[in-house]
Amino acid sequence: MSDERPALLCISTYEKGQAFLHEAARLGCRVELLTVNKLRGANWPWESLAEIHTIPEDLTAQETLPLVTRLFKHKNFLRVVALDEFDLETAALVREHLRLAGMGETRTRYFRDKLAMRGGARNGGVVVPDFCSVANHDVLWQFLSAGADKGEGPWLLKPRWSASAIGIQKIEKPDDVWPMLEKLGDEASNHLVERFVPGEIFHVEGITWEGKVLWAGAHKYGAPPMQTMHQGGVFTTRTLQRDGEEARELLNIHEKTLMALGMTSGVTHSEFIRAKVDGRFYFLETAARVGGAFIAEVSEFASGVNPWVEWARIEVAALRGETYRLPELRDDYAGSVICLARQEEPDLCGYNAPEVVHRMKKHHHAGLIVRSGSAERVRELLEEYGEGFLRDFYARMEVPDKPRD
């Protein structure tokens, strides 16, 4: 007997998205997962998966395409969803090739390629740090020289396709860039140069349906993620006071950014910086995915919105031609504290404030989430616990030169 459930193919070369997979299956879809060989036995929600397929690691989108099309011979997948940022190109290529609904390759670039998203945002009237492609050296030299004349250095050399702060290099003076580009060789054009803007980093988690931002949650990191990754430290993030000036300004620039980039339906994780020099918010980057580092859980404890779960509901509503609606919202505040730990199983018993609502269970990681009706109380706890984690658990690992599990 054939399976009459609508079929959904999820692609994830990292171990994540379990809540999405579970919710899509709960809503009556036949959910199949495409992942890499080494993750075949990972902690997937097996009861929610109709089938799991694996491919070798490090395949390009073009190399993955024929493997996916073989699956389509006998499976009528209605949607293809990339659960990790590094799978967005593969999913977009599959949609283009098989003429499926969802973002194609051009639109996906605005939520994956840092050069494309900066250009798109700037064209839409969003403030972004000054940037330049490195493809043409004359144009790049003019950009750096003009910046140096105005005292605008340093700059950052950023990979266009990476995530987090992986692969970013600092340029103190214009001449420093040329040895970097020479070393990169033919890979150089996969980078951009951007003026370094010191400031505090914020992020906004968003849910968009049919071109309208239905929900957005504004948050503030503790130390900037780039600083945490390159210099070490404890990662924290927290919900901002909803009626505060920072939150209002962030939500405005966030919506303007998504509309400029053409977001239609789905979830987004976007980052902005409030510059020390002028106090303005600048767009840094966005991605059509759920934020990592337990950001989804922070959103859920604060607002009642888990982006993984809502993303699944959006995809299912779209394939069924139904209208997506938000869940009932809460007005609490939440924050997380996370670090690599020296201990294999860190003992968090000493962190026992009544506001602690979740404790991470992962080898060599210490992490927890706090929730309160007061944004100020969350901030106080994160400062206290951040110092404690640094003393009791913190371990440092060298920054990888490319993404890995």
Residue 164 reports pLDDT greater than 80: no
Output the pLDDT for position 145: 94
pLDDT band at 267 (very low <50, low <70, confident <90, very high): very high
Residue 32 reports pLDDT greater than 80: yes
Task: Indicate where the chain has its CATH 3.40.50.20 domain(s).
Answer: 7-109
pLDDT band at 223 (very low <50, low <70, confident <90, very high): confident
Mean pLDDT of the chain: 94
Does CATH number 1.10.3720.10 belong to domain 199-392?
no
Output the pLDDT for position 225: 62
Task: Indicate where the chain has its CATH 3.30.470.20 domain(s).
Answer: 199-392
Q: Quote the CA–CA distance of 215 and 207 in Å, as a whole number.
A: 5
pLDDT digits (tens, 9 = 90+) for 271-287: 999 999 999 999 999 99
| CATH entry, 7-109, from 3.30.930.10, 3.40.630.30, 3.40.50.20, 3.40.50.1970 | 3.40.50.20
* Tokens coding 203: 């992020």
More confident residue, 401 or 285: 285
Task: Indicate where the chain has its CATH 3.30.1490.20 domain(s).
Answer: 130-195
State if pTM tops 0.85.
yes
pLDDT band at 405 (very low <50, low <70, confident <90, very high): very low
Give the list of residues 6+ apart from residue 32 with CB closer than 8 angstroms, or none: 7, 8, 9, 10, 49, 50, 51, 52, 53, 71, 75, 77
Residue 201's SS3 state is strand
pLDDT digits (tens, 9 = 90+) for 43-84: 999 999 999 999 999 999 999 999 999 999 999 999 999 999
pLDDT band at 226 (very low <50, low <70, confident <90, very high): low
| CATH entry, 130-195, from 3.40.50.1820, 3.40.605.10, 3.30.1490.20, 2.60.120.200 | 3.30.1490.20
Output the pLDDT for position 224: 61
- Judge contact between 258 and 395, C-beta under 8 A: no
pLDDT digits (tens, 9 = 90+) for 94-133: 999 999 999 999 999 999 999 999 999 999 999 999 999 9
More confident residue, 330 or 151: 330
* Phi, psi angle pair for 36, to nearest 5°: -95, 160
pLDDT digits (tens, 9 = 90+) for 339-381: 999 999 999 999 999 999 999 988 999 999 999 999 999 999 9
Output the pLDDT for position 244: 97
Q: Quote the CA–CA distance of 25 and 31 in Å, as a whole number.
A: 6
pLDDT band at 404 (very low <50, low <70, confident <90, very high): very low
pLDDT, mean of residues 229-256: 91
